[in-house]
Amino acid sequence: MRKPFIVFFFLFLLFGSGLSAQINTDSIFSKAIYSSRNKQYVQAVESAKKALQTDPHRGDILVFIANVYSWQEKNDSALIYIHKAQEINYHQADFYESWTNILLRSHQYKALLQSCTEAEKQNYSSKGIFKKRLIAYSELKLYTDGISFAELPKNRIYMTDEPINSLYSNLLIKRNTHIVYANYKLDFFDNGLPQHLGSLGYSFRVGKQTLGFRANYANRFNKNDVQLETDFYLQLNHDQYMYFNYGYAFDNLLFPHHRVGFEYYVPLKYISEVSIGGRYMNYPTSQVLILTGHLEKYIGKSWVALRPFYVYTTENKTKSLSLIGSYRLFGKNEMTYWGLELGFGNSPDDRYAITQNGSFNQLTAYNLKIEKNFMLSRISDVHIGLGYTREEFVTNQFRNRYTVELGYKLRLK
């Protein structure tokens, strides 16, 4: 009778001690989870490491520690624990979601793409993995690869998700770099006389560079004029680029006979982008020299910008300053936004800022414009603007100008 009792006793010691250790590990791990929920990340990591000492093969604890490090923006440490989980062949859903999240937060897009591929090889897929894969394609500028992957029949189930649908649209927009566009502006003064300004253009990529051509037509003050323009964007290292512009007007009645523009753009850490440049315009009765630049900043889904113009005219050696402030609130992508523009003085970049004798209007003006841009399809968008200007057309004499703007862009592969 004693022999079965002895066997039972040893079995109890063997499995009971294991069960006790398991309960102790889970207890310590629960404490770590509680600390993390209260954003006590240091205590959370300490408790999780203690739990890991009692059971070094707990992949869920390794992944937890990786996540807590990543929440503190310590992604190098986070990846160390992710790789430890990988070494013990811990291939659960939380591992792949956490691994890809950490790589996304640390902007390691090439590694992110590889980790998404590894997840699929292990027969794990999810909406989150699919979304992060599209982000990686976009950031790596592999637009065609991203579009081909999104259009696979097996991935159709994810395309009903609005954020994923927007990512797919952005891939199309960035791949389709041949752009045809048309713009029309209608102005009314107090006397109700309409003034027309229209343009038709085409731009395309040449390697990393962008080249564009545009034809402008104006019918103002009972005069007609046509101007041809070309724009060139030269991409430099470190996301810097330069802008060049040249325009030629045939009749030189409403547009400057020659128009030249140059600007140098540089991204900064705390300001999204700054630039400095100049414009030169040759009118029948004067030459206009302009110094300009701009500051812009993205804050979440908002964008704010400020652009000054310092203008010097050779006709009567006058100097003036104009200033434009812009704000945009973006929707699901960069093609969908509401905008507000406030200005003081006439901007040399606006083709309508001309007088009846064909020179640049350098007098006082106050401007307000509200605009809306929205996508008509995945590859086209429409722009609508309504503006009001209180402008000085003769010294100390003001008039009201009401403006309606319409624009359309079509992006082709």
Q: What is the mean pLDDT of residues 315-340?
A: 90
Which residues neighbour 209 within 8 Å (Cβ) at sequence distance 6 or greater? 232, 233, 234, 235
> Residue 138 — very low, low, confident or very high, per pLDDT cuts 50/70/90?
very high
Within a domain: residue 359?
yes
What is the average pLDDT across 37-56? 90
DSSP code of residue 315 = T
How confident is the model over 376-385, as a mean pLDDT?
A: 95
Look up the domain containing 347 and give its range. 179-412
CATH number of the domain to which 51 belongs: 1.25.40.10
Residues 57 and 186 in one domain: no
Predicted confidence (pLDDT) at residue 79 exceeds the cutoff of 70: yes
Are 373 and 233 contained in the same domain? yes
Which range of 212-216, 248-252, 269-273 scores highest in mean pLDDT? It is 212-216
5 located within any domain:
no
Instruction: Output the domain CATH number for residue 334.
Output: 2.40.160.40
Residues 185 and 95 in one domain: no
Same domain, yes or no: 120 and 186: no
Is residue 276 included in any domain, yes or no? yes
Tally the domains of the chain: 2
Together in a domain, 109 and 257 = no
Mark whether 94 and 206 lie in a shared domain. no
Q: Which has more pLDDT, 357 or 381?
A: 381
Integer Cα distance of 244 and 232 in angstroms: 5
Per-residue confidence (pLDDT) for residue 23, from 0 to 100: 59
Q: Is the dihedral of CA 41, 47, 50, 56 positive or negative?
A: negative
Looking at the fold, whether 183 and 317 belong to one and the same domain comes out as: yes
CB within 8 Å of 260: residues ≥ 6 apart:
245, 246, 247, 279, 280, 281
Is residue 3 included in any domain, yes or no? no
Distance CA 75, CA 103 (A): 8
Going by pLDDT thresholds of 50, 70 and 90, the confidence category of residue 356 is: low
Last residue of a domain, one of 101, 124, 147: 124
Burial state string for 350-371 with b = 16 or more CB within 10 A and e = fewer than 16 = bbbbbbeebbbbbbbbebebeb
Q: Is 19 inside a domain boundary?
A: no
60 and 195 in a common domain = no
User: Would you say 247 and 241 are in contact if contact means Cβ atoms under 8 Å apart?
Assistant: no
pLDDT at 343: 93
- pLDDT tens digits for range 53-70: 888 889 999 999 999 999
Contact 245, 235 (CB under 8 A): no
Boundary (domain end) residue, out of 124, 140, 163: 124
What's the pLDDT at 274? 96
224-260 tens-digit pLDDT: 999 999 999 999 998 899 999 999 998 888 888 999 9
**Does the pLDDT at position 15 exceed 70?**
no
Residues 395 and 247 grouped into a single domain = yes
Residues 295 and 386 in one domain: yes
Report the sign of the C-alpha dihedral through residues 49, 53, 59, 60, in that order: negative
Contacts with 265 (C-beta within 8 Å, 6 or more apart), sequence order: 240, 241, 242, 243, 273, 274, 275
Query: Considering the domain boundaries, does residue 18 fall inside one?
Result: no
**Confidence class of residue 286 from pLDDT cuts 50, 70 and 90?**
confident
Q: Is residue 157 part of a domain?
A: no
Residue 159 placed within a domain: no
- Residue of 229 and 358 predicted with greater confidence: 229
Query: For residue 271, is pLDDT > 90?
Result: no
Average pLDDT in the 327-344 region?
A: 93
Q: pLDDT value at position 20?
A: 45
Average pLDDT for 176-193: 91
Domain boundary among 90, 106, 124: 124
Closest CA to 57 of 37, 86, 78: 86
pLDDT for res 17? 43
pLDDT of res. 12:
39
Say yes or no: 111 and 184 in one domain: no
**Residues 119 and 251 reside in one and the same domain:** no
